[in-house]
Structure 1
Amino acid sequence: MAKVEFLGPIGRPSLDVDIANLNELKDYFKEDKALQEWLGICAVAVNDTLVCDLNMPIASEDKISLLPPVCGG
Structure 2
Amino acid sequence: MVEVNFLGPIKKDSIKVEVKSLFELKEVLSKDKELYEWLKISAIAVNDKFISSIDCALKDGDIVNILPPVCGG
TM bin (shorter chain): over 0.9
> 2:8 aligns to what?
8
> 1:56 aligns to what?
56
Match of 1:12, SS?
coil
Distance in 1, matches of 2:30 and 2:66, equals 15
CA RMSD of aligned residues (A): 0.7
Distance in 1, matches of 2:6 and 2:26, equals 14
Distance in 1, matches of 2:12 and 2:29, equals 13
TM-score under structure 1 length normalisation? 0.95
TM-score under structure 2 length normalisation? 0.95
Distance in 2, matches of 1:57 and 1:29, equals 16
Distance in 2, matches of 1:64 and 1:6, equals 9
Match of 1:9, SS?
coil
Cα deviation digits, residues 30-61 of structure 1 (max 9, x gap): 22111100000000000011001111110111
Distance in 2, matches of 1:59 and 1:67, equals 20
Distance in 1, matches of 2:30 and 2:42, equals 15
**What runs of 5+ residues in structure 2 fail to find an aligned partner?**
none
* Greater displacement, 57-66 / 27-36: 27-36
